[in-house]
């Protein structure tokens, strides 16, 4: 599942098509989830771009996005798609060069508490 929000407005909430998990050694699953290419196709080139266009038309200025440090956000396909679509980013506070202590205070406790839940939803 993917969704986004902006100040004063809810964005779309969509189900993503994920790669299947593969049973590995000792019964542990591996793989699965979403790749940078999948993120670019299913999110950046579709619902996110449409939402940004709508916001920019309503508000009359460029809208910047913030993504967390997930590898799929940093992959080459996502970077290329953002560049081609004119989607600009602000640095995520936890990815900044500030001290670890300062970063801990910048992370949202409401969101951070649920970070572990995403891996169980993946497979």
| Domain ranges, residue 71 | 34-95
Residue 64 within any structural domain of the chain: yes
Residue 119 within any structural domain of the chain: no
Residue 78 within any structural domain of the chain: yes
Domain count for the chain, please give it. Answer: 1
**What span, in angstroms and rounded, lies between the C-alpha atoms of 116 and 33?**
14
**What span, in angstroms and rounded, lies between the C-alpha atoms of 85 and 98?**
30
DSSP string, 41-76: IIIIIIIIHHHHHHHHHHHSS---EE--S-HHHHSH
Dihedral pair phi/psi, residue 16, rounded to 5°: -100, 150
For residue 115 the two structure tokens come to 């970070």
Residue 89 within any structural domain of the chain: yes
Residue 22 within any structural domain of the chain: no
Residue 52 within any structural domain of the chain: yes
Residue 50 within any structural domain of the chain: yes
Residue 10 within any structural domain of the chain: no
Per-residue pLDDT of the chain (123 residues; tens, 9 = 90+): 999 999 999 999 999 999 998 888 887 888 889 999 999 999 999 999 999 999 999 999 999 999 998 999 999 999 999 999 999 999 877 655 544 444 443 444 445 444 555 555 555
């Amino acid at each position: 599942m993917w969704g986004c929000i902006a100040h004063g407005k809810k964005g779309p909430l969509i189900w993503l098509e994920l790669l299947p998990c593969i049973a590995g050694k000792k019964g542990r699953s591996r793989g699965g989830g979403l790749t940078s290419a999948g993120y670019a196709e299913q999110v950046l080139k579709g619902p996110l771009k449409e939402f940004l266009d709508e916001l920019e038309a309503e508000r009359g200025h460029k809208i910047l996005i913030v993504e967390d440090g997930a590898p799929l956000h940093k992959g080459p396909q996502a970077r290329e798609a953002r560049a081609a679509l004119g989607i600009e980013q602000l640095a995520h506070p936890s990815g900044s060069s500030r001290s670890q202590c300062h970063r801990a205070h910048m992370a949202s406790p409401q969101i951070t508490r649920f970070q572990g839940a995403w891996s169980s939803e993946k497979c």
